[in-house]
Amino acid sequence: MGCKWIMRYVRIKKLHKEVSLMEIADEHRRKTGQVPVIAVDGPRCVWYLYENCDFCCGGQYKEFREACRNFVRQFRNCGVRLVFFFHGLRPAEKYEKWMQVAKDNVGKINQGLQNLHLRGAKALDRVRLPEGVVPCARVIFRDEPSTEVRLCMGDYNGETAEYAASCENCLGVMSSNGNFLVYKNIPNLFTFDRRLQLNNGVRMLCFCPSDIASDIGVKREDMPAFATFLGNDTIETDELQNVHKRLGCSYENLQELVCAVAKLVKGKTIEEMCQSAFGDRWQELFESVLAGIGQYDYKPKVSEAAAVKESRWSEVLRSIEAKHRSGEIPAVILSVALHRTFRLGEVLEDLAHAKYSSMTTAEVLQPMRHRMYTVLLWESGDGPFRVEEQMTSSTDRYQLQVDVDKRLPRSVVHPGLLKLWTGDPETRWRLFSWVVGAPDPDGSTLRSLEPQSLVVPAVALHFLRHEARLLSHHEAEVFAVVAVTVGTLTPEQLSKKRIPTPDPRAIYLSTLFVRTALHVLDVAAVCGLFFPREADCQLDAYFDGKFFHELYLKAKAQSFARVGTDAPWDPTYLDPIHKFLDVIEGSHTDRL
């Protein structure tokens, strides 16, 4: 809350300047001869770039990729290198807080779905991004020249701030999070807002943390304590409100509140601050204050892989950790390898799924995940091994302990992850085919598909048709048409599509498909497969939510007639569509 109040305060007082990034970058190069860098808050950037797209139909991935590329291109034209930071491993001490946030989201999304389904609303409140947007952003940005992607090992705010404070060529952090006005040694905060102009040398608002501390009336080193007593979620809301009442101020007068909190922390020890704030109960709340201030410290990085007793498995963990840090593999893989949590976020229609399935999308995909755990943890020593999964029901969040079965079919060989990733492709395909339940054990049918990016939707739809049994043949046809033909449409053509009141079943299916495709990509990363490159097999190559919704509604109006010349799509693509459907309808591979 405190960082929200800080940002509100600095905006009201206009403690910013509008700058030309090109001018700043040119000056930096003249002085240092070095390329300037900006550390980018990845999740906030994704929200900014996706804001005008559809939040209900499953995701507009082609338009999003174009927006990402244009964003990076404008900074590259200014001669600035961008380093994107994304959530990686979630700090264990924040699990409880995130679980509560997830529960709150359940209520918000449920309310939005009621408005959408029962009251005829035409749009859904933007509570949550479509499932695939952030995972795609990680890959899109990583593939762009002059950019870098980092997945964090702990709190991503702290790791972003530490990079900006320690990199001598870093101009600052780009975010809308007031936390970056509190961390020490960050030179500037550039914000995502309507004042950001990507053309003509990139113009944006710049906030200088030193100037803001001076305006507030405290030293820069007092800012962590100031943010804690203003409210950064480490002190309970009721306690904090009592503190503010004791200081004689209210939230209606923000400037008065800021001045009072500044006076509370200025020139005092932490003990003295607590005594003034809490009176006789100060010792009870001392640890909470320490935690609030301590979250702005730069903590030494410790490799969790290094803490494992030296063994073959510790070598594997170091490799997985390195791939994770560079953004090459998603965080869930490292989390599972470290025997941490596989966290599955809330998705649309999980909260109203009973009409379509007795299971949520997370539960539907458990068999594929569990086989992936077998491949990933194959060398992790003698069992038993368990993976903790966190997922959403229609009313709550819950945790599940999954036993890992270290058995493989006789026809499948696991040489160890390091050898798997660098060795024989046939071995990789056999393991991949077993995990996803491909039409044949060696993946030959999948490899016959052109372009190879179609492997991902083919596997996803085959799983949903034959193992999960949640997708009808006619519904699979609509997905097949989208997968084969979406490449012929430009981002502009896709953006112009207009969907009337969204269809609940179509929302459920698109959510289910996107989550399944993401699981397939996770499995591919574990098995060392790319089709042919990671950047080429993301969702924009074979899916668009609005396009799917449009075709679904047309097909539904024709009672889902068989794909043919009279169907509501371009007949030029009937042959590749039928070939694709033949793969999807292939027989299901036995598990053992």
Tell me the DSSP string of 432-458.
HHHHHT-SSTT-HHHHT-SSGGGHHHH
Residue 357, pLDDT above cutoff 80? no
**Nearest by Cα to 535 from 65, 150, 44, 48:** 65
Tell me the DSSP string of 344-393.
----TTGGGGGGT-SS-HHHHTHHHHHHHHHHHTTTS-SS--EEEEEEE-
**Nearest by Cα to 568 from 557, 555, 559:** 555
Tell me the DSSP string of 496-562.
T---SSPPHHHHHHHHHHHHHHHHHHHHHHHHT--SS-GGGSSGGGT--HHHHHHHHHHHHHTTSPP
DSSP 3-state assignment of 59?
A: coil
405, 374 in Cβ contact below 8 A? yes
pLDDT tens for each residue of 70-118: 999 999 999 999 999 998 876 666 666 666 666 666 666 666 666 665 5
pLDDT tens for each residue of 283-303: 999 999 999 999 999 987 666
Residue 590, pLDDT above cutoff 50? no
Rounded Cα gap, residues 322 and 316, in angstroms: 10
DSSP 3-state assignment of 81?
A: strand
pTM metric for this prediction: 0.90
Residue 262, pLDDT above cutoff 90? yes
Rounded Cα gap, residues 284 and 348, in angstroms: 41
Residue 193's alpha-carbon distances to 37, 45, 170, 204, in angstroms, are: 20, 10, 21, 8
Run of H or E residues at 73: helix 61-77
Cβ neighbors of 211 (< 8 A, separation 6 or more) are 15
Residue 120, pLDDT above cutoff 50? yes
Q: Is cis: bond before 491, omega within 30 of 0?
A: no
* 461 DSSP 8-state letter: H
Report the share of the chain in percent with pLDDT over 90: 60
**Nearest by Cα to 456 from 430, 486, 436, 428:** 436
**Nearest by Cα to 41 from 3, 2, 93:** 3
Kindly indicate the confidence band of residue 119, based on its pLDDT and cuts at 50, 70 and 90.
low
Please state which of the ranges 55-69, 91-105, 126-140, 396-410 shows the lowest mean pLDDT.
Answer: 91-105
Rounded Cα gap, residues 151 and 299, in angstroms: 16
pLDDT tens for each residue of 207-241: 999 999 999 999 999 999 999 999 888 888 889 98
Torsion of CA 7, 8, 13, 18, to 10 degrees: 50
Kindly indicate the confidence band of residue 402, based on its pLDDT and cuts at 50, 70 and 90.
confident
Rounded Cα gap, residues 414 and 337, in angstroms: 16
432's tokens:
């991949």
Choose the most confident range, by mean pLDDT, from 118-122, 228-232, 352-356: 228-232
User: Strands 203-207, 341-343: parallel, antiparallel or unpaired by DSSP?
Assistant: unpaired
> How far separated are the first and last CA of the chain, in Å rounded?
52
Kindly indicate the confidence band of residue 591, based on its pLDDT and cuts at 50, 70 and 90.
very low
What is the dotted CATH code of the domain comprising 2-216? Answer: 3.40.50.1010
Report the share of the chain in percent with pLDDT over 70: 85
Rounded Cα gap, residues 457 and 320, in angstroms: 26
Average the pLDDT over 451-467 and give the result: 95
Q: Kindly report the three-state secondary structure assignment for every residue of 190-213.
A: ECCCCCCECCCCCEEEEECHHHHH
524's tokens:
């591919």
Run of H or E residues at 163: helix 156-166
137's tokens:
């952003």
Rounded Cα gap, residues 531 and 231, in angstroms: 47
Beta-carbon-side half-sphere exposure of residue 398 (alpha carbons within 13 Å):
9
Please state which of the ranges 295-309, 346-360, 544-558 shows the lowest mean pLDDT.
Answer: 346-360
Cβ neighbors of 118 (< 8 A, separation 6 or more) are none
Kindly indicate the confidence band of residue 124, based on its pLDDT and cuts at 50, 70 and 90.
low
